[in-house]
Chain A
Amino acid sequence: MDPNSLTFIFLNAALINNFVLALFLGLCPFLGVSAKKETAWNMGLATTFVMLVSSTSAYAINWVLTELEIEFLRLICYIAVIASAVQLVEMTVKKFSPTLFRALGIFLPLITTNCAILGLALFQTFREYDFLQSLAFSVGAGVGFTLALMLMAGLREKLELAKVPTVSQGAAMSLMLAGLLSLAFMGFAGLGGSHA
């Protein structure tokens, strides 16, 4: 598969270099929101949407900054745009689904400091993706993030019924689980074949 193709970029972001399990981005929500499948799914959706908005805005801003040759302001502009995107999503969710809004609680505004969103913007800039590639990248990242969150939630829900030593309850257990998931996802390396 051509490494610059949209399919490869999507698969790369979702599976091979999964944002949470391979790149270590977005760990706070991953450990905090993955207790129940329902909240995990909602968080994943909200994050994917914010990723799409941020990715597009970041692409536009980067274009402007490069034209004006003031790239050193990139970080400040990106974080400002992400904060605004989160505000936007927050207001939209509150208006269209108050139940969802209450379910997500504090985690919605916390998406601002979610390294996954900023990481997304930074990686797409470093790798110099064009507009369509950036879109594929952000959708892939969101899907991968949601996938990791759902897998974790499923595991943790099952574990609530099991006898777990008190020493490892809580974060230690989640991290061990995440390690196993990460190990499993390493199997995706090489997906897409060796490009001839």
Chain B
Amino acid sequence: MALPNQQEKVTLDTFLRGLWEENPVFVMLLGLCPVLAVTNSTMNAIAMGTATTFVLVASSTLVSLLRNFIPKQVRIATYIIIIATFVTIVDYTIQAISLDLYNALGAFIQLIVANCVILGRAEAYASKQKLGASVINALGMGAGFTIALLCLGTVRELLGAGTILGFPIFSANFEPWVVMILPPGGFFVLGAWLLLFEYLKQKRERTILENEGVPNGSQ
């Protein structure tokens, strides 16, 4: 992460960071509410990811543009108003595009405003960096968030209903694992993903230690 006073040059890393190293869901564990609630199907996951990315980019843009005009004491209040505005805009846009999608996502569209990722990005990054860097970084975070949603959405829909995006994948004999679409399923699948990533991370660290000739670590 860039030091607070440094203006960061826009590089590919600015974008890629949000996808893996600083993935908002899997690494920073932020904005979990929509991640679990809306991922009972792949379509909902895509819609929520797109909506959140839009709000993230739009608010980061505005915050970055206005960063020299917002006094320190009222910055959080200002960011929140800006975020709430864009969320309201997204809310009405989705209604205009598809009522079915709107009913499926329900109150969680409006709850995007409480997503810590957006406020966190505004406070930690967009308020200090130039417009270009803020937008690219926001795009990266949004993409990482959407990927995380997709990871959960596809697994839950596949195991819980046997379909992806509504297309049946398994044969008719498949007995769907209904718990996956229900709330406990959300917790289990996210926990499983985190387990997998932790395992991969520890394996990689052990390999690095071995390659450097250090005897096997604390295991």
Contact = CB atoms under 8 A, between A and B. Distances in A.
Nearest to A31: B29
Contact of B187 (A75, A79, A126, A176): A176
A172 interface: yes
A83 B37 contact: no
Contacts of A168: 195, 198
B114 A115 contact: yes
Interface residues of B, number: 42
Contacts of A91: none
Contacts, number: 117
Interface residues of A, number: 43
Contacts of B110: 75, 118, 122
A25 B33 contact: yes
B87 A75 contact: yes
Contacts of A126: 107
A57 to B, nearest CB: 16
A178 B33 CA distance: 13
A34 to B, nearest CB: 13
6 contacts: A24-B37, A75-B87, A76-B84, A83-B77, A172-B192, A182-B187
Interface of B: 29-30, 32-34, 36-37, 76-77, 80-81, 84-85, 87-88, 91-92, 107, 110-111, 113-116, 119, 179, 182-188, 190-192, 194-195, 198-199, 202, 219
